[in-house]
Amino acid sequence: MLAVDGLVTEYGPVRAVDGVSIEVPEGSVTAVLGANGAGKTSLLRTISGLIRPTAGTVTFAGEDITSLPVEEIVRRGLAHVPEGRGVIGELTVAENLRLGGLWRRAGAAPVEEIYELFPRLEERRGQPASRLSGGERQMLSIGRALMARPRALLLDEPSLGLAPRLVAQIMGMVRRLADSFGLAVLLVEQNARSALSIADRGVVLSLGRVVADQESSALAADERLRHAYLGF
Amino acid sequence: MTKFIDLTLSGISDGAVYAAVALALVLIWRATRIVNFAQGAMLMITTFIASAVINAGASYVVGFIVALATGLIFGAVVERVLIRPVEDKPPLNAVIVTLGLYTLLVAVAGMIWGNQPRAFPAAFSLQGYKVGGTTLLFAPNDTFIVVVVVVVAILLALLFRRTTLGLQMRAAAFAPEVARLLGARVGRMFTLGWALAAVAGSIAGVLVAPSVFLGPNNFDPILISGFVAAVLGGLDSPPGAVIGGIVLGLALSYVSGYEGSALAPLAALVILVIVLMVRPGGLFSVARERRV
């Protein structure tokens, strides 16, 4: 569904992403792990078109989307949930969701479906998103991305700043989304343990390069790699 | 008492014009976080064009519509050509660009139409209503001014609150990157914000021209009042701009009525300074939680 090949992204003289190749098949979760500054967020931003790569290609559903503008990529069904829960605090919960559904592809999710998935959001639909708790914001930004009924989901650190119980809930939700909607999920996480617990594959980045790309169970069992890059 | 009623009524009429200018400034501030110092000059140009159309024999209504249409195009072109390159630069760049545009437009208007102020027709009679033998300081044209500005404010509110276009404009203003990630064409929303702002400005120009006369520099005081009104209302809120305009109109009307009209411009600046010192977020600012 989503394939990245030899991707290179540079900020001036700094190479944030250095020849990364990853494949995310339909209905699967690929976790991208690594320390701060490993290039995880840059990778996602390059895939969704927010930054232009200097080399390499991004293919989505068989189409080369490397040089398309962000808006076009989104409209093709690739949703990016940015880091720091990119809800728009000045808008209400319902407005945030409506915004996500503007470019829904044919036969897409009505807002009720999202409320069914996240009942908390329905209770708070009329409130400004700035009043939500951290976990609710994360639900809102994921729910908002789902409004467009995407085929692939880029998730940037959904566990950031959440309590362990909430992290487990969100991760479980991500797994169910991949299983029941056939979503291709690219999950960027620092919380390697919980990400690997639901991912099919794990990719470890270090200084912009892929240093490991394995089944997640194999990755979790590889003690040397865990100690060197994942810190658990 | 009659004097008080008179001052109140004319204050509301003046305030409606300030509100329209404030709306123009607020729309641009919301969209691109730029204070458009060229706003007064832009509405001067569109009013001159309306004047030219009316002088060529067209009706007032046609002149009004031409002013709105040229405002729409003018605002969009200014954003695309002059403002777009400085949007992601330090704020001072945009300030200098809009100040430069102001100077340029004033000079060009003087070259084309001359620096001698000229009359501009009013939509309705400027003769005040008569109530029981006394003539009020409020004419049918003032009713027209207030109604037009209220309608504009309501239309803008509906646009922002009820339509998906308005939703996208708000999203683009608050969080451009997130809006892009959700498929909104943020650049177009910015252009549209400037275009609508220029329309609001054009309206203010046509409405106020009969009383200040039409000349390259005649709208400068209106821009200052509009700016004070926008700051009063919080610079970020269209309803705040309207209320700020009316409040300022009333305040200036009372000051010039009871203390002398020479003090009115001074009073506007005093109000500006006090608001910025006491409530820099504007009278109607809601304490907003900021993400860290």
The three state secondary structure string of B229-241 is HHHHCCCCCHHHH
Q: Which residues of A touch B180 (CB under 8 A)?
A: 50, 70-71, 74
pLDDT of B128 strictly over 60: yes
Query: Which CA distances in Å does A209 have to A37, A39, B7, B56, B84?
Result: 11, 8, 73, 70, 36
- What average pLDDT does the structure give for chain B? 91
Q: Report the pLDDT averaged over residues B174-191.
A: 91
Half-sphere exposure of A172 (CA within 13 A, CB side): 8
Q: What is the pLDDT of residue B290?
A: 44
Q: At what angle do helices B39-55 and B2-32 cross, to 10 degrees?
A: 110
pTM listed for this prediction: 0.86
Q: Are strands A201-206 and B134-135 parallel, antiparallel or unpaired?
A: unpaired
Q: Identify the CA nearest to A168 among candidates A178, A177, A158.
A: A158
Q: What is the pLDDT of residue A149?
A: 85
Q: What is the pLDDT of residue A95?
A: 93
Q: Which residues contact residue B118 at a Cβ distance below 8 angstroms, ignoring those fewer than 6 apart?
A: B51, B213, B214, B215
Q: Report the pLDDT averaged over residues B70-99.
A: 94
| Structure-token match 């000059």, residue found | B41
Q: Report the pLDDT averaged over residues A111-121.
A: 87
B162 touches chain A (CB under 8 A): no
The Cα–Cα gap between A57 and B68 comes to 47
Residue A102 and residue B181: Cβ atoms within 8 Å?
no
Q: Report the pLDDT averaged over residues B200-208.
A: 95
Q: Identify the CA nearest to A143 among candidates A175, A169, A109, A186.
A: A109
Tokens of A113: 């479906």
User: Of the given ranges (A127-131, A162-166, B52-56, B69-73), which has the lowest mean pLDDT?
Assistant: A162-166
ipTM: 0.86
Q: What is the pLDDT of residue B292?
A: 37
Each residue of B106-123: pLDDT tens digit?
A: 999 999 999 899 999 998
Phi/psi of residue A62, nearest 5 degrees: 80, 0
Q: Which residues of A touch B (CB under 8 A)?
A: 48, 50, 70-71, 74-75, 79-80, 82, 84, 86-91, 95, 98-100, 102-103, 130-131, 144, 148
- Assess contact for B149 and B143: CB atoms under 8 A: no
The Cα–Cα gap between B190 and B78 comes to 11
- Assess contact for B197 and B21: CB atoms under 8 A: no
pLDDT of B28 strictly over 90: yes
Q: Report the pLDDT averaged over residues B119-132.
A: 88
Residue A99 and residue B184: Cβ atoms within 8 Å?
yes
> For the CA atoms of A207, A211, A216, A217, what is the dihedral angle to 10 degrees?
-130
Give the angle B165-B166-B170 at the CA atoms, nearest 5°: 120
| Higher-confidence position of A220 and A107 | A220
Q: Which residues of A touch B185 (CB under 8 A)?
A: 71
pLDDT of B102 strictly over 60: yes
Walk me through the domains of chain A, giving residue ranges and CATH numbers. 2-77+151-230 (3.40.50.300), 90-149 (no CATH)
The Cα–Cα gap between A66 and B41 comes to 43
The Cα–Cα gap between B173 and B29 comes to 9
The Cα–Cα gap between B234 and B257 comes to 27
Each residue of A174-188: pLDDT tens digit?
A: 999 899 889 999 999
pLDDT of B244 strictly over 50: yes
Give one DSSP letter per residue of B184-250, joined into a string: --HHHHHHHHHHHHHHHHHHHHHHHHHHH-B-TTTTHHHHHHHHHHHHHTTSS-HHHHHHHHHHHHH
Which of residues 180 through 209 in chain B touch A, CB cutoff 8 A?
A: 180-185
pLDDT of A106 strictly over 70: no
Phi/psi of residue B135, nearest 5 degrees: -95, 125
Q: What is the pLDDT of residue A107?
A: 56
User: Of the given ranges (A198-207, B92-101, B131-140, B178-187), which has the lowest mean pLDDT?
Assistant: B131-140
- Assess contact for A158 and A146: CB atoms under 8 A: no
B158 touches chain A (CB under 8 A): no
The Cα–Cα gap between B155 and B134 comes to 36
pLDDT of A34 strictly over 90: no
- Assess contact for B7 and B27: CB atoms under 8 A: no
Q: Report the pLDDT averaged over residues B59-78.
A: 96
- Assess contact for B98 and B106: CB atoms under 8 A: no
pLDDT of B288 strictly over 70: no
pLDDT of B131 strictly over 70: yes
| Structure-token match 């076009």, residue found | A72
Q: Which residues of B touch A149 (CB under 8 A)?
A: none
Q: Which residues of B touch A90 (CB under 8 A)?
A: 170, 174, 288
Tokens of B93: 């760049």
Query: Which CA distances in Å does B252 have to A70, B11, B235, B259?
Result: 49, 7, 20, 10
Q: What is the pLDDT of residue A109?
A: 60
Each residue of A145-197: pLDDT tens digit?
A: 988 888 999 999 988 888 888 899 889 989 998 998 899 999 999 888 889 99
User: Of the given ranges (A108-112, A132-136, B242-246, B278-282), which has the lowest mean pLDDT?
Assistant: A108-112
pLDDT of A74 strictly over 70: yes
Confidence of residue B291 (pLDDT cuts 50, 70, 90): very low
Q: What is the pLDDT of residue B289?
A: 43
Query: H helices within chain A, ranges in order?
Result: 40-47, 70-75, 93-100, 111-117, 119-123, 134-147, 164-181, 192-198, 216-221, 223-225
Q: What is the pLDDT of residue A183?
A: 92
